[in-house]
Structure 1
Amino acid sequence: MQSSLLEPASAAWRDTLARCRHDCHHTPGWHSAAERSDNGSAAAVLVTQGEHRLLVPLVRRPLAAGSWDASSAYGYAGPVLSSGAPAGFADAALAAGIALLRKHGCVSWFIRLHPLLNADWHSRLGQVVEHAGTVSVDLTKSAQRLWQETQARHKLGINRARRAGVTARLDRDFATLPRFIELYNHTMTRLDASPYYFFDAQYYRTLVRGLGDDLLLFVAEEGDCVIGSALFTVARGTGIMQYHLSGWDWDYRHRQPTKTLIHAAREWGRIHGMHYLHLGGGLGSSHDSLYEFKRGFSPDTHVFRTQRLVVDADRYVALSGGDRGTLARLDGFFPAYRRPGARFGPPLAQTCHEVAMSATAESRRTGT
């Protein structure tokens, strides 16, 4: 097996994705933007054996004395595996990737598994932890069937907004991006979000430049006023849309623009041959208000899981205060040395969907 650590500009990263089923969250463009939001540097582990490939994108975050740890960027950038790989290849390749990261000074590796693409992922390495569910919309269904599966409260809100003159459209040129940023930041401020949930202008410029036509900005308008906006990503090869960020005008909250935006996005995806609109999960529970809001658009659910890998056991124990028992407790806050109040503080790149931090992350990101 051959293993390498790729930079976002590497042609091998893009070539591997072209040969494997993947999502937008696996792309170099997504990770280049994540460098700013997650305070790290983007990379990807590539392991090859003949025609078989394993690719795992990550963000490197600095620790002490030249060491660092790895985490998935915000989203679901789990392992990408070439089709037809023999049994045992995935774990063998992942083990080779761990050895490569250890050689480069990595201490631990936190991987967010993709609820759709990694549904069958099983590994004997580290620990795979199951979290709350996520929701997706099956865009291969007819418009009539999707509307039938929409809960009555969502239908009511969408119809009321429509009667009031609210419309939704795709802003292909991102002309309203400044308005989106304004709405999103105001929404985060109202939710008393931490600084992590605010992005500078360069983040959005990098995202637009890096994703190109795979980033969509939908806007909801009443008259000439944009009352809500939402960003979605698309992976055309696998037909997956992802709900990323959204915000709304507080003065128009009675119009419930987020419902109109999601309805418009799923119809766009259905017409354009996409297979899934993945809305993500809730506040950390499978029955909380955000999760139930998303369930209002679809009955289809998935299991979200994470994989935790200790790359350098001695360094991990040292950073965790010398307690070797932490090596057997990977299902709690991971890595242990980044738990709140610990030496290195909260894990900036792990806030969304992590066990202890997921209660506010996605609701703040999506503004629902």
Structure 2
Amino acid sequence: MHANLLDIGDERWDALLATVQHDVDHLPAYLAAHDAFRGGVSQLAVVEDDVGALLVPLRIQHSDGGSLDAASSEVRSAPLFTGGTSVEWRREAIRELLMFLRRRDVASLFLRFHPLLESSVPEFYRYGAVVKHGPTFNIKLGRSLDDIRAGMSKSHRRGIRKFQAAGYEYAPDPDWEWLADFHTIYAQTMERVGASDDFRFTLDYFERLRDTLREHVSLWMLEVDGVLAMGSIVTECGGTVQGLCGAMNHEFHKEIPHIGTYDAEVQWALSRRAQNYFFDGAAYESLRRFKAGMTEHRPVAVSARIVIDPVEFGRQCASWERAAGRSVSHADEFFPPYRQPGVSLGGESHVPECSADDHSATIRDLAGS
């Protein structure tokens, strides 16, 4: 069993993904778009032998104190195992991954898991802390639209009827003709809700998704009297459809029943024979109630925090405490704790890895805020 790191341009990346069930967050083109926007470099950690393989998309970053930390590249870039591997093999593969990262002077590893993909989460318990973040929401497809709607709340069914009666047409824009308009209302939406810079995506970012993800991504739009009322970026990969980013023209904020757009995407997902329509978690109670009214399937979001080099990890924590004048937070609140924002150890501000609400909601949810 041996481990190595593949760069974004390595042809083996796509070849290895073809051997496992994965989502869009594992695709090198998707991660390259995020790397270009946010900075950093994604790589694929691979542990393999003639029995199977463990695949983990990672970004390895320097800390101000000089050490390295590794984290899942994006929110759903979960570890993946090829099929047919035993529990013992998976444990050994995880151990080999950690040893490989230790040899590269990596002090900590933060892993995000995908609520719909099998990543053998129990096997990570022996190596670090596994934290549950609360429910996400998913509609299991493979049944009729009537059955899916019957499982929704009365208010949602009423909203769908209202959406249909108004004659709204929310559908993919196959030529992405509305992209510039979408970016305009997206930027306005991010400004209105006070989104952080991490989510203020540029037009270039959206163009990258369009040009590199191709069949995995589509632009959806709802036009009213020649004006873009709302739009979304929707992804499809590995049998899962999900909304990535959403934007609402504020002039139509209270006019359009938002549930109608979800319903249209569910219909499209059914036509594509997808297995899941995934719409993530919820950052606040009203959004949780809205999403809970759509489905009873609520898989829990989970992440893992692993200390690879206890000595270096402790040194970094101590340095942070001296600079901050207080103790580091619990590992389930922010990991690694010395990357909390707002404190510098003599260099640039720390780059956050994970806070407790890291899995809370998709960017698309901000459109309805």
Say yes or no: TM over 0.5: yes
Compare 83-92 and 147-156 and name the one that shifted more: 147-156
1:41-72, Cα deviation, whole Å (9 max, x unpaired): 11111000213010011223332365432222
Contact residue 281 and residue 359 of structure 2 kept, 8 A: no
Alpha-carbon separation, structure 1, partners of 2:317 and 2:187: 35
TM (norm. structure 2) is: 0.89
Matches within 5 A, 1:324-335: 329-335=330-336
Secondary structure at 1:165 match in 2: coil
Q: Distance in 2 between matches of 1:311 and 1:204?
A: 36
How far has the Cα of 1:91 moved from its partner?
A: 2.4
The letter for the 1-side match of 2:152 is T
Alignment partner, residue 86 of structure 2: 86
Is the alpha carbon distance of 1:314 and 1:75 closer, same or farther for their aligned partners in structure 2, counting shifts above 3 Å? same
Note the 1:257-272 alignment, pairs <5 A: 258-272=258-272
Matches within 5 A, 1:36-55: 36-55=36-55
Call closer, same or farther: CA 1:81–1:291 in 2, change over 3 Å.
Answer: same
Q: Deviations over 1:166-218 (max 9, x none)?
A: 11111122221112211211111111122222012332222222311101221
Contact map agreement 1:333 1:356 (CA 8 A) in 2: no
Residues 170/215 of structure 1: CA separation in 2 closer, same or farther (3 Å cut): same
Distance 1:54 1:97 in 2: 9
Further displaced range: 185-194 or 70-79: 70-79
- 1:6-63 CA distance string (max 9 Å, x none): 1111122111110111111111112111213443111111000213010011223332
Residue number in structure 1 paired with 2:152: 150
Per the alignment, residue 356 of structure 2 pairs with: 355
Letter in 2 for 1:320: C
Which residue does the alignment assign to 1:306?
303
Alignment pair present for 1:339 and 2:340: yes
Query: Residue 171 of structure 2 aligns to a residue in which SS?
Result: strand
Q: Which residue of 2 aligns with 1:101?
A: 101
Question: Match for residue 137 of structure 1?
Answer: 139
Deviating beyond 6 angstroms after TM superposition, the runs of 4 or more aligned structure 1 residues are none
Match of 1:280, SS state, is coil
Q: Which position in structure 1 is the counterpart of 2:162? A: 160
Aligned CA distance change for structure 1 residues 60 and 364 (closer, same or farther; 3 Å)? farther
State the partner residue of 1:187.
189
Residue 200, structure 1, aligned to residue 202, structure 2: yes
SS of corresponding position for 2:59: strand
Moved more, 197-206 or 59-68: 59-68
Deviates more, 1:341-350 or 1:5-14: 341-350
Q: Which runs of 5+ in 2 are unaligned?
A: 322-326
Pair 1:5–1:15, CA change in 2 (3 A)? same
d(CA) in 2 for partners of 1:250, 1:291: 22
Question: What SS is found at the alignment partner of 1:92?
Answer: helix
Structure-2 residue corresponding to 1:2: 2
Structure 1: how far apart are the matches of 2:343 and 2:328?
Answer: 16
Q: Which one of the candidate residues 145, 170, 173 is aligned to 1:171? A: 173
Partner residue, 1:62: 62
Of residues 63-72 and 20-29 in structure 1, the stretch that sits farther from structure 2 once superposed is 63-72
What's the CA shift for 1:161? 2.8
Alignment map for 1:105-120 (pairs within 5 Å) = 105-118=105-118, 120=120
State the distance in 1 between where 2:207 and 2:169 align: 26
CA distance in 1, matches of 2:313, 2:343: 13
Q: Answer with 42-51 or 220-229: which moved more.
A: 220-229
Equivalent-residue separation in structure 1 for 2:4 and 2:85 (angstroms): 19
Q: Does 96-105 or 167-176 show the bigger shift?
A: 96-105
**2:245–2:363: 8 Å Cα contact kept in structure 1?**
no
Establish whether residue 25 from structure 1 lines up as the match of residue 25 from structure 2: yes
Is contact 1:240–1:278 with CA below 8 Å preserved after alignment? yes
- Secondary structure at the residue paired with 1:189? helix
Whichever residue aligns with residue 224 of structure 2, its letter is E
Change (3 A) 1:357 1:86: closer
Q: Which runs of 5+ in 1 are unaligned?
A: none
Measure the CA separation in 1 of the matches of 2:278 and 2:19: 22
Report which stretch shifted further, 158-167 or 17-26.
Answer: 158-167
Paired-residue identity, %: 25
CA RMSD of aligned residues (A): 2.4
Deviations 1:242-274 (A, max 9, x none): 221101011011233532221111110011100
Give the TM-score of the pair, scaled to structure 1: 0.89
Following superposition, the deviation at residue 227 of structure 1 comes to 0.7
Aligned residue pairs, count: 357
Q: Residues of 1 paired with 2:48 and 2:66: CA distance?
A: 28
Q: Distance in 1 between matches of 2:159 and 2:58?
A: 39
**Residue in 1 aligned with 2:228?**
226
8 A contact 1:232–1:241 mirrored in 2: yes
